[in-house]
Amino acid sequence: MNKYLQISFVGLAFIGLILVKAMFKGDESTPQIQAPQSLQNSTSQNSTTQNSTSSSSSSSSNPPSSVTSTFKDGSFTGSVEDAFYGNIQVQAVISGGKLTDVIFLQQPGDNRTSQYINGQASMYLKQEAIAAQSSKVDIVSGASDSSMAFQRSLASALQQAQL
Amino acid sequence: MTKTADIMGMPVRVNLADDFAKEKDIEEVFDYFWLIDERFSTYKDGSEISKINKGLLKLNEASEEMKKVLRLCEETKEETKGYFDVEKNGKIDPSGLVKGYAIWQASLVLEKKGYKNFYVEIAGDGEVRGLNNGEVWRIGIENPFNRMEIVKVMGLSNKGIATSGNYVRGVHIYDPLSGKGVDDIASVTVIGDNVYEADRFATAIFAMGERGIVFLENKEGLEGYMVLKNKKAIYTTGFEKFVIS
């Protein structure tokens, strides 16, 4: 079977599963998702090619703000995007005209998540609960390598949600 | 002197802390990143990598830089036991390594110009050299569950750092095959002798899941901090020496 066809079937099965879950969960609050910064002006991929250069002495980037544009309600499945070591495909859930949830239908490492996880690691490596730190920093290192693929898949989902 | 730019939709920042710092040297770094995008972007039809994938350009006719990067990809594939693989569906996509490679090369250019104290960062991955006004550069690890928070602060000098993971906060992640929530890692931060080393291993280790931290522990010259979905972190034994708070 064609791989992408397979993915669509899995995707459809998923939407079903999520809907059923939603029905049973009722009003349980879901955290609101903020769209990547480059999606705020436009949902097209053109927004990723702008070249703005500016001087800055600040070390922090602007926090992304919520998407408040008008979308039609429903669940929209984005395109499958290559994230180098696996595919990323997301589904955007629009409620009350706003992006309220993003569900990963595929993410890198999926095919390995069911594999046996080596419990030995925790036996000799130190562990700690993560806790917020307030110190000033020069660079913030965060996960971003899947963001391009993520943004593209989300952009295509949001395009379908456009009124 | 700090300057930022938006290149391929990613924030790029260069900070030159030497007192002879020139703005044009930062511009040169930005120009190099644009060139890298022209060459390696799989989203651009006219890029060299797209031409290779369409069969319009043979590998032996490719640029020296392309050949070098593809050699590095091969090396990384072997070193990560296949977890890093640029070949998919008959096409090659070296993007997982190009960002770290490009920052590393830009650092070498600045070094040749005499800079000793600086950093070059693209979207949270970076190379830090020397000191910032006499003190080590302070690098924070972003909380994968809340992008506005930092969960660790490290002091680094002459090191590279890269983080891999899914960064959208509050997101629900499901395994499409089992239908269950994915029991895996939230992010992994790797510190290496340069950003190229840190970036390529961060990419592969994220794909390995929790076992990746054991791989890091056994790998000389690399240290790491892995945040799990249960909001606990596991770190390598050599990581502690970088921790400020």
**At the topology level of CATH, where does B1-130 sit?**
T-fold (3.10.520)
Mean pLDDT of A138-151: 69
User: Does residue A82 have a pLDDT over 80?
Assistant: no
Distance CA A107, CA B81 (A): 20
Average pLDDT value over all residues in chain A: 57
B107 — contact with chain A (CB < 8 Å)? no
Residue B226 confidence (pLDDT) above 90: yes
User: pLDDT-based confidence at B24, cuts 50/70/90?
Assistant: very high
Question: In the predicted model, what is the mean pLDDT of residues A143-149?
Answer: 55
Does residue A24 sit within a domain?
Answer: yes
Cβ distance of B123 and A144 shorter than 8 Å: yes
pLDDT of residue B119: 97
Q: Is residue A27 part of a domain?
A: yes
User: Which residue of chain B comes nearest to A30, CA vs CA?
Assistant: B170
What pLDDT sits at residue B42?
A: 84
Residue-level pLDDT at A108? 54
Q: Provide the pLDDT for residue A111.
A: 42
Residue A45 lies in a domain: no
Answer whether B173 touches A (CB < 8 Å).
yes
- pLDDT at res. A25: 39
| Most confident among A32-36, A91-95, B54-58, B88-92 (mean pLDDT) | B54-58
What CATH code is assigned to B136-245? Answer: 3.10.520.10
With b for 16 or more beta-carbon neighbours within 10 A and e for fewer, the B118-130 pattern comes to: bbbbbbbbbbbbb
pLDDT, averaged across chain B = 88
By residue range, what is the domain housing residue A5?
A: 1-40+67-109+146-163
- Closest residue on chain A to B171 (Cα): A102
DSSP code per residue over B178-241: T-SBP-SEEEEEEEESSHHHHHHHHHHHHHHGGGHHHHHHHSTT-EEEEEETTSEEEE-TTGGG
The pLDDT confidence band at residue B211, using thresholds 50, 70 and 90, is confident
What's the total number of domains in chain A? 1
Tell me if A136 is assigned to some domain: no
Instruction: Kindly tell me if the per-residue pLDDT of B21 is higher than 50.
Output: yes
Using an 8 Å CB-CB cutoff, list chain A residues near B164.
Answer: 143, 145-146
Could you tell me which of A39, A70, A76 has the C-alpha nearest to residue A155?
A: A39
State yes or no: pLDDT of A45 exceeds 70: no
Q: pTM of the entire structure?
A: 0.66
Tell me how far apart the terminal alpha carbons of chain B are, to the nearest angstrom.
Answer: 26
Asked, for residue A134, whether it belongs to a domain, the answer is: no
Mean pLDDT of B93-102: 88
A96 belongs to a structural domain:
yes
* ipTM here: 0.86
CA–CA separation, B131 and B186 (whole Å): 31
Residues of chain B with CATH 3.10.520.10: 1-130, 136-245
Using the beta-carbon criterion (under 8 Å), do B172 and A103 form an inter-chain contact?
yes
B213 touches chain A (CB under 8 A): yes
- For chain B, the farthest-separated pair of C-alpha atoms sits apart, in whole angstroms, at 58
CB contact under 8 A, A142 and B167: yes
- Give residue-wise pLDDT tens across range B101-153: 999 999 999 999 999 999 999 988 999 999 999 999 999 999 988 878 999 99
Residues of B in contact with A46 (CB under 8 A): none
Taking CA atoms, what residue in B is nearest to A129? B232
Angstrom distance (rounded) from CA A18 to CA B19: 57
Give chain B as a DSSP string. Answer: -EEEEEETTEEEEEEE-STT--HHHHHHHHHHHHHHHHHH-TT-TTSHHHHHHTTSS-GGGS-HHHHHHHHHHHHHHHHTTTSS--EETTEE-THHHHHHHHHHHHHHHHHHTT--SEEEEETTEEEEES-BTTBPEEEEEEETTEEEEEEEEEEESSEEEEEEE---TT-EEB-TTT-SBP-SEEEEEEEESSHHHHHHHHHHHHHHGGGHHHHHHHSTT-EEEEEETTSEEEE-TTGGGGB--
How large is the greatest C-alpha to C-alpha distance in chain A, in angstroms? Answer: 55
The answer to whether the Cβ–Cβ distance between A118 and B15 falls below 8 Å is no
A163/chain B closest Cα distance in angstroms: 24
Reply yes or no on whether the pLDDT at B93 is more than 70: yes
Is A13 among the domain residues?
Answer: yes
